[in-house]
């Protein structure tokens, strides 16, 4: 289920990249084949589990699938309702463009259904007693969480790129001219968009990580896998080139390694306010710093001035610490 869920999200991003880079005039594309084959596999797995339970005498859906995958089955129904509503919406109102495609109510319904379907492995792992204690046993939950992180990136993709490369910046003239106010305004909103992207990515990544460390005693390596898989698809889809994608992958791997170092300590770091706060601050700071340093070193420099760069990196850690206050300091997963 975890692999099929990530497969489906990979199909979603492949389709997005296909639409960005090609004129699509048919439903029968390789990207659609990847997307719908993943959904079909998810349905087959849920159906197989239900039929297996029926052969053992379990006829009620909730009992047959268990609490974890019963909600995945509910997700299938929500997905179908959203799909039918979306088709009707397209027939009468046409197709969305730009932000409207992300904010469409019918697309939100479809997204809610997909979220319930692909989160089944996490619910299944939480329901186990004792909970998975090895990296191999935790992998289904970690892969499922990575798919969910990618789904959240999908819904907020307009604020994924920080666009720090010098070639993407706006140069503001030092002397007044006919275009000075326009350039200053664009520069101002570029800074605002970049700062929002830094903060939002910190909240999405660390919120997902907090959920996992709150419910499992994660083994080292789990966070590196989470961030690499959880950021990799959108990084490639939204890249302007391979260096652009490599910057996100390098930052994700480095931040994951930094987070995994905290997992090496025993007892679990969540038992200490100082250590958990340090974890919450350090990981997004490492991610943002490496991303910016990669741009400076390999992508022709940055248009960010030193104060804006330092402040943005600090805000990444600060907002993560604020989010961590919502997580129990002393939670001890079984």
- Predicted confidence at residue 320, as pLDDT, reads 97
Q: How many CB atoms lie within 10 A of CB 175?
A: 5
- Percent of the chain at pLDDT above 90? 60
* 281-321 per-position pLDDT tens digit: 999 999 999 999 999 999 999 999 999 999 999 999 999 99
* Average pLDDT estimate for 1-25: 82
- Predicted confidence at residue 25, as pLDDT, reads 57
Backbone angles phi, psi at 299, to 5 degrees: -125, 30
DSSP for 215-262, written as a single string: HS-PPTTHHHHHHHHHHHHHHHHT-SSHHHHHHHHHHHHHHHHHHHHH
* 203-224 per-position pLDDT tens digit: 999 999 999 999 999 999 999 9
- Tell which wins on pLDDT, 30 or 160: 160
Q: Which residues contact 142 (CB under 8 A, 6 or more apart)?
A: 212, 218, 222, 225, 226
Q: Which residues contact 329 (CB under 8 A, 6 or more apart)?
A: 270, 271, 272, 273, 276
* 110-158 per-position pLDDT tens digit: 889 999 999 999 999 999 999 999 999 999 999 999 999 999 999 898 8
- Predicted confidence at residue 36, as pLDDT, reads 83
- What is d(CA 68, CA 142) in angstroms, rounded to the nearest whole number? 15
- Predicted confidence at residue 176, as pLDDT, reads 72
* Alpha carbons within 13 A on the beta-carbon side of 19: 10
- Predicted confidence at residue 118, as pLDDT, reads 94
Q: Are 284 and 320 in contact (CB under 8 A)?
A: yes
Average pLDDT of the chain is: 89
* Average pLDDT estimate for 163-183: 84
Q: How many residues does the chain have?
A: 334
Q: 56-60, 152-156, 269-273, 324-328 — which is least confidently predicted?
A: 269-273
* Average pLDDT estimate for 186-193: 93
Alpha-carbon torsion angle 197, 222, 254, 315, nearest 10: 30
Nearest to 70 by CA among 109, 142, 147, 124: 124
Helix boundaries (H) for the chain:
2-21, 30-55, 61-93, 99-103, 105-118, 120-127, 135-155, 180-215, 222-237, 242-263, 273-298, 306-324
- Predicted confidence at residue 83, as pLDDT, reads 84
The domain limits of the chain are: 1-118, 159-334
- Predicted confidence at residue 18, as pLDDT, reads 74
Alpha-carbon torsion angle 283, 289, 293, 296, nearest 10: 150
* 72-102 per-position pLDDT tens digit: 999 999 988 988 888 888 778 776 666 777 7
Does the pLDDT at position 28 exceed 70? Answer: no
Does the pLDDT at position 22 exceed 70? Answer: no
Q: Which residues contact 255 (CB under 8 A, 6 or more apart)?
A: 205, 223, 227, 283, 284, 286, 287, 290
- What is d(CA 239, CA 243) in angstroms, rounded to the nearest whole number? 8
* Average pLDDT estimate for 9-14: 89
- Predicted confidence at residue 212, as pLDDT, reads 95
CB burial string 207-244: b at 16+ within 10 A, e below: bbbbebbebbbbbebbbbbbbbbbbbbbbbbbbeeeeb
- Predicted confidence at residue 5, as pLDDT, reads 94
């Amino acid at each position: 289920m975890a692999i099929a869920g990530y497969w489906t999200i990979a199909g979603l991003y492949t389709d997005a990249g296909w639409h960005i880079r090609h004129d699509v005039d048919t439903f029968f594309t390789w990207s659609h084949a990847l997307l719908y084959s993943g959904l079909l596999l998810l349905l087959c797995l849920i159906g197989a589990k239900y039929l297996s339970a029926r052969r053992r005498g379990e006829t009620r859906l909730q009992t047959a699938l268990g609490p974890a995958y019963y909600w995945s089955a509910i997700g299938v129904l929500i997905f179908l309702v959203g799909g039918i509503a979306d088709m009707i919406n397209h027939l009468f109102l046409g197709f969305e463009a730009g932000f409207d495609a992300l904010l469409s109510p019918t697309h939100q319904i479809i997204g809610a259904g997909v979220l319930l379907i692909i989160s089944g492995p996490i619910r299944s792992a939480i329901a186990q007693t004792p909970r998975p204690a090895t990296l191999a046993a935790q992998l289904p939950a970690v892969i499922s969480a990575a798919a969910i992180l990618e789904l959240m990136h999908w819904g907020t993709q307009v604020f994924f790129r920080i666009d720090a490369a010098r070639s993407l910046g706006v140069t503001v003239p030092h002397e007044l001219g006919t275009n000075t106010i326009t350039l200053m305004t664009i520069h101002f909103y570029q800074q605002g968009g970049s700062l929002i992207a830094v903060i939002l990515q910190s909240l999405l990544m660390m919120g997902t990580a907090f959920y996992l460390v709150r419910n499992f005693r994660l083994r080292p390596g789990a966070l590196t896998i989470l961030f690499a898989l959880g950021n990799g698809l959108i990084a490639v889809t939204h890249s302007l080139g391979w260096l652009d994608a490599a910057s996100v992958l390098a930052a994700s791997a480095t931040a994951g390694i930094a987070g995994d170092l905290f997992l090496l300590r025993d007892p679990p770091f969540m038992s200490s306010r100082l250590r958990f706060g340090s974890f919450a601050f350090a990981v997004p700071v490492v991610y943002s710093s490496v991303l910016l340093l990669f741009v400076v070193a390999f992508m022709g420099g940055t248009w960010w001035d030193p104060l804006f760069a330092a402040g943005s990196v600090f805000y990444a850690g600060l907002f993560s610490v604020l989010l961590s206050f919502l997580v129990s300091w002393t939670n001890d997963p079984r």
